[in-house]
Chains A and B, each alone.
Chain A
């Protein structure tokens, strides 16, 4: 069974629609992250959370919001999707500690028309 799961895996939507991407983990990790990957680029951090109710902005948080409903769940919302939010979105988890090994979900491919 996958330790970090994301739903949906693929989504096509229209400009202006509200979209929610969900992430669940069974690893028991405290820290959770949302990253975005664009073609030919590495991953960039959108939001992160170190515990339930702890929410922090990453480097590209504009246009996104998140919710940490439980230790195991971290969702990412696009309140009003726009075409330049078309990308691959990854959720990641890690334990508290300096080694900071992050474990990634399989990704959600989002297309905004």
Chain B
């Protein structure tokens, strides 16, 4: 079945780059997403990538997609303390009539001053 996996924790120093990784199993996925969840808040859509793209850049965020390996990554350049949060990778499969998002369990990013 569908599955999305992420590492649980990442710690980086302020100013360094962060790379959060995600693997997925559903080769029919069309869109893949990165969401950010800050403490006590809902999920904020950061960016998404369509499956026919290899890379997408949006300011400090770079998404890389390797369809062959079913691997997705989110790179945050010049990481700031305000980037500390849980980051969720998610996918959607248009063959699923619910259009639900399948989420990973989230990666907690801790940015040290």
A interface residues (Cβ-Cβ under 8 A, vs B): 4, 31, 33, 40-45, 48, 56, 58-59, 90, 92, 94, 98-107
Contact = CB atoms under 8 A, between A and B. Distances in A.
A38 to B, nearest CB: 10
Contact of B45 (A59, A102, A106, A107): A102
A45 B98 contact: yes
B15 interface: no
Interface of B: 4, 8, 30-31, 33, 35, 40-45, 48, 50, 88, 90, 92, 94, 98-106
Nearest to B5: A42
Contact of A58 (B42, B100, B104): B100
A106 B41 contact: yes
A4 to B, nearest CB: 8
Given A42-B104, A90-B42, A106-B41, A98 B94 contact: yes
A91 B49 CA distance: 23
Nearest to A42: B103
Given A31-B99, A43-B101, A45-B100, A104 B42 contact: yes
B70 to A, nearest CB: 17
Contacts of B100: 33, 45, 48, 58-59
Given A56-B98, A58-B100, A98 B105 contact: no
Contacts of A94: 99
Q: Lowest 4 A-B CB distances belong to which pairs?
A: A42-B103, A104-B42, A104-B43, A45-B100
A79 B10 CA distance: 40
A95 to B, nearest CB: 11
